[in-house]
Amino acid sequence: MLRLDYNNMMEAAVGSRGITEAELEALQGRFADAHTAMVSKRAAGKMDFRDLPRNQIAAAEEILDYVKETEARADMDVDAFVLLGIGGSALGPMAVQQAINNPYYNELSLEERGGHPKFYVADNVDPERLVYLFKTVDPKHCLFNVVSKSGSTSETMSQFMIIKELLERELGKEDTRKRIVCTTDQSNGNLIKIAREEGYKTFYIPAGVGGRFSQLCPVGLLPAAFCGIDILELLRGAAEMDDVCKRGNVRENPAYMYAALHYIAMGKGMNISVMMPYADSLKYISDWYAQLWAESLGKRYNTRGEEVFAGQTPVKALGVTDQHSQVQLYAEGPFDKLVVFLGVDEYREALTIPKSFGDVPSLGFLGGVTHNELINVERMATEYALQKAGRPSMTITLPKVDERGLGQLLYLFEAATAFAGELMGINAFDQPGVEEGKNAAYAYFGRPGYEEKKKELDARPAKSERYVI
């Protein structure tokens, strides 16, 4: 199991800006209430992401069969799996693929990839993105996975429209059909309607599961399976973490403790939370987590409708790379952040530094040391430096980066985010601040139903001439 070490969050380690046992004790009542709310919401079907590790096993098995069949089809010859999705539909799949596979996965031969296709994610609508993708892979040899819960996300649906038209022009309708697989809501939205009309293969996102909490359903499981990732192990790891995260006592529940420490830290002005994995494989976990933490907890109103402007800004960093970039700020800058280190006990590869330059004192000491020791010692040294500078941090350590550990980690962060939402008294599962921008874009393009918004846009004062060239 992964472990959460929060010693360096405490006053005993970092001094006055740390958290005291008394502060943790004083919040026991609040923690108990938040736990009760978590339990009753889950029982009432209002926290459906929590059941995914167990109720998605059948979906995972269906996915594995589909992957096997598709890869065996001579008439498909799938060279690349291309995911069309954004936000919660893209960040998890990218993070899991990067964590488990060789970082140069797409450059490996088919055999080295275990017979699985290359993997690409097209999330942004920068026009260069798709054009360059099609200079890299042949769309006629791709399988396109359109992932959208709402089926109305302009970025995803516009990419789908471009690709569908292109494929139908080149391959005809019949052959296009087998190259498109949709992941969406089973009964609501445009995508399910289109998928049924066009006869596309479809996987479902459970109705009560929002984008950023959807990695453990077909949103994440389908792309992962096409990349040869053991999705049943991923679910197993998540289920193990679920068992731990059911515990009511904050001191025995890593998700609760993680959220509680962040909550207290926010109250002390630590409005920035840095996620710093010491493993290249976990770099994109920080991207996925940043969305989860930011979109879930950044809220103007609490659940009582009072203005609270809540939230904590997630910052992504990478150890050791960012020791040479950001750690100076973390150690000596404003006291507005806490750092979460992600460590790994056992890396999947080992590398020993040769005993060259033995007569150069500033290099000789490295001879015979492994990179495995070096990265872990550098993490420990950075933890120490921050502690000495009075900066709170905590460390989550995975025994190794594998599917089981990753399932535990993803689930830990999801449960922690939900618990933090309860402590903060906000709704962690909506995103009203994102809707305004989406609606303005719809209005700009004249989408029916957005006429009032268009008037609002048109009524904006003209921009003055404050330009600098």
Catalytic residues: 295, 324, 438
Residue nearest to ligand PA5 (CB): 211
Give the angle 19-25-30 at the CA atoms, nearest 5°: 105
Angstrom distance (rounded) from CA 242 to CA 410: 11
Binding of residue 295 to ligand PA5 (CB under 6 A): yes
Token pair, residue 306, equals 């009072």
Binding of residue 93 to ligand PA5 (CB under 6 A): no
Binding of residue 319 to ligand PA5 (CB under 6 A): no
Nearer to ligand PA5, 151 or 405 (CB): 151
Touching ligand PA5, residues 400-439 (CB under 6 A): 431
Angstrom distance (rounded) from CA 245 to CA 423: 16
Binding of residue 382 to ligand PA5 (CB under 6 A): no
User: Shortest Cβ distance from residue 90 to ligand PA5 (Å)?
Assistant: 8
Nearer to ligand PA5, 273 or 431 (CB): 431
Touching ligand PA5, residues 97-156 (CB under 6 A): 148-150, 153, 156
User: How many other C-beta atoms lie within 10 A of the C-beta of residue 199?
Assistant: 12
Token pair, residue 416, equals 């922690």
Binding of residue 220 to ligand PA5 (CB under 6 A): no
Contact track, ligand PA5, 265-284, x by CB under 6 A:
--------------------
Pairing of strands 299-301, 307-310: antiparallel
Binding of residue 298 to ligand PA5 (CB under 6 A): no
Buried b (16+ CB within 10 A) or exposed e, 174-196: eebbbbbbbbbbeeebebbebbe
Binding of residue 206 to ligand PA5 (CB under 6 A): no
Q: Which of 52, 405, 20, 446 is nearest to 213 (CA)?
A: 52
Binding of residue 13 to ligand PA5 (CB under 6 A): no
Size of the site for ligand PA5 (CB under 6 A): 14
Binding of residue 314 to ligand PA5 (CB under 6 A): no
Q: Is the peptide bond before 320 cis (omega within 30 degrees of 0)?
A: yes
Could you tell me if 185 and 149 are in contact, meaning their C-beta atoms sit under 8 angstroms apart? yes
Stretch that binds ligand PA5, among 87-95, 273-281, 354-362, 451-459 (CB under 6 A): 87-95
Q: What is the DSSP string of 79-145?
A: -EEEEE--GGGTHHHHHHHHHHS-TTGGGS-TTTTTTPPEEEEE----HHHHHHHHHHS-GGGEEEE
108 CA to centre of own chain: 25
Would you call 217 helix, strand, or coil by DSSP? coil
Q: Which of 295, 294, 287 is nearest to 272 (CA)?
A: 294
Q: Which of 139, 211, 277, 298 binds ligand PA5 (CB under 6 A)?
A: 211
User: Shortest Cβ distance from residue 397 to ligand PA5 (Å)?
Assistant: 28
Nearer to ligand PA5, 199 or 433 (CB): 433
Contact track, ligand PA5, 57-86, x by CB under 6 A:
-----------------------------x
Angstrom distance (rounded) from CA 272 to CA 289: 13
Q: Which residues pair with 208 in a beta bridge?
A: none
Binding of residue 192 to ligand PA5 (CB under 6 A): no
User: Shortest Cβ distance from residue 99 to ligand PA5 (Å)?
Assistant: 20
Binding of residue 89 to ligand PA5 (CB under 6 A): yes
Could you tell me if 264 and 338 are in contact, meaning their C-beta atoms sit under 8 angstroms apart? no
User: Shortest Cβ distance from residue 87 to ligand PA5 (Å)?
Assistant: 2
Q: Residue with structure tokens 């659940």?
A: 303
Nearer to ligand PA5, 83 or 235 (CB): 83
Footprint on this chain of ligand PA5 (rule: CB under 6 A): 86-89, 148-150, 153, 156, 210-212, 295, 431
